[in-house]
Each structure stands twice: as C-alpha cells, then as structure tokens.
Structure 1
Amino acid sequence: MPLKIMKLAITATAETVTAPTVSRFFYEVGATVIGEAVLTIDAADFVNDTGGAVTSLPELTANNSYIEVYVNGVLQMEGLLTYTPGATGTGQLVIDVPNGSTIEANSPVVLVVANFAPTTSVDITT
C-alpha cells in the first residue's frame, strides 16, 4: 500500500452571538464653550432615552466596548474625549475643546456607550 496523509474526518460549525447593550445619554450645553477649554459633563447632568435622570455611567467591557460622542449632531474625535464610568463615582464625560473651536450654547451632546457580551457555541461532528 502506498504512503498517504492521514487526517481526521471532522466537521465543525460555530455560531457567535454578539449581544450588544447600547445606552444613550443626552445633554444640552448651558453656555458657549470657547477653546482652549474643557467641558465636563457629570452623569447627573445627562438624561437617558426616556428623559429620565442618570445616576451613573456604564462600565466599559474590556476589549468589547466603545463610546461615541456627538456634539450638535457631529461625531467627535476620540482624542478629545475622556470617559469615566460610574464605578469611580457617578461618572463623567470630559470634552477637550481645542483652541479655535467653539461649542455653542444649547448644542446637544449625545453620548453612546456600546458594550458587547459575545458568546460562541461550537458543534463538532466526527
């Protein structure tokens, strides 16, 4: 009998469910912020999707989360943002307003926090 490569006869299927949890928080800027300045928004200053009070900002799941911040409907650069979740108090969002930039009074600030809890199931048939 000639030589041949021996291999396992196995099939496998995998299904991954991402299971996102998305929270949105809303704030209206009280007074014009002219850069170079910092706009600090505490958790208690936000309202949630239903207009209710916010007592803390969610933790970020390591390697499975992100935040987005919109000022007056425009997505902002990550380097301008500092997010502190509620585990260290109630939490806050800090926006660095660079020199030459302005956030007008009454501008909406929207914070989106997305956390994922992925699960994968694998079915192996031999």
Structure 2
Amino acid sequence: MALQLMKLLVTATTTTDAVPTDSRFFHTTTGETAAGSTLTIDAASFFEDTGAAVTSLPSLAANNNYFNVYINGVLQMDDLSTYTPGATGVGSLAIDVPAGGDSILTSTPIVLEIVSFAPSSTTTVET
C-alpha cells in the first residue's frame, strides 16, 4: 500500500437566532423647549404602551441594543440625544435642540424606542 495523508473529515453547522425585544416609552412635552436648549425627560415622566408609569429606563448592553428617538413621529438624528439608564432621578433622555432651528412645542409627543437583542446559537458538529 502506498503512503497516504490521513485526515479527519469534520463538518459543522451553526444556527443563530437574534431574538429582538422592542420597548417603547412615551412622553408629551409640558412646555416649549427653545432652539439652542436641551430638553431632559426624567424616567418617571415616561409611560409605557399599557399607559403605566415608567419607574426605570433599562440598561443597554454593549453591542446588543440601540435606541431611537421620535419627535412628533419623526425619527431624529443620533447625535441629538443622550440616553441614561436608571430609575427616577437618574434615568433620563436628553434631547439637544439645535441652535438656529425650530423649538419643540408644548404637547409634542416624544417616543423613546429601545431594541434589545438576546442572541442564541446552536452548533452541530459531525465527524
């Protein structure tokens, strides 16, 4: 018999599920926020989809979450807002209203949307 290179034959298949969870928090402004100012909304000033008051804004895990801010139904640019997780007095959303632009009027709806992912993977190895 001639010499042969002996090697293993291995195949692997990985299935990954992203499993997103979407949370929405709602607020209606109580006063006008002028251009060049910052509107800061405390966690307790938001309410959930059910109408229940919010007591805490959730933490965002690195690389597994993102948040969107909508003002009067319009998605806003990322660098205009700062999200701070936590309970009343700590958790908040701060929106910088650009100087030279329009103000945010009284009774304007603000929606904070948080999307979180809980990925799971399964690998099957066959030899």
Scaled by the length of structure 1, the TM-score of the pair is: 0.90
Equivalent position of 1:13 in the other structure: 13
Shift of 1:24: 0.5
CA distance in 2, matches of 1:54, 1:119: 29
Shift of 1:90: 4.4
Sequence identity percentage: 53
Instruction: Give CA-to-partner distance per residue, 1:48-103, whole Å, 9 cap, x none.
Output: 01000100000001111000000001111111111000169540000000112321
Equivalent position of 2:83 in the other structure: 83
Equivalent position of 2:121 in the other structure: 120
CA distance in 1, matches of 2:62, 2:44: 24
CA distance in 2, matches of 1:56, 1:102: 27
Scaled by the length of structure 2, the TM-score of the pair is: 0.89
Match of 2:112, SS state, is strand
CA distance in 1, matches of 2:52, 2:113: 16
1:88 to 1:34, Cα distance in 2 relative to 1, 3 A:
closer
Unmatched runs of 5 consecutive residues or more in structure 2: none
Provide the aligned C-alpha RMSD in A: 1.9
Matches within 5 A, 1:16-31: 16-31=16-31
Paired residue type of 1:58: P
Do the aligned residues in 1 keep the contact of 2:34 with 2:102 (CA within 8 Å)? yes
Do the aligned residues in 2 keep the contact of 1:56 with 1:89 (CA within 8 Å)? no
Match of 1:79, SS state, is helix
Superposed structure 1 runs of 4+ greater than 3 Å apart = 1-4, 87-90
1:83 to 1:9, Cα distance in 2 relative to 1, 3 A:
same
The count of corresponding residues between Structure 1 and Structure 2 is 125
Instruction: Give CA-to-partner distance per residue, 1:1-59, whole Å, 9 cap, x none.
Output: 4877x653122111111122221000001112121000000010000010001000000
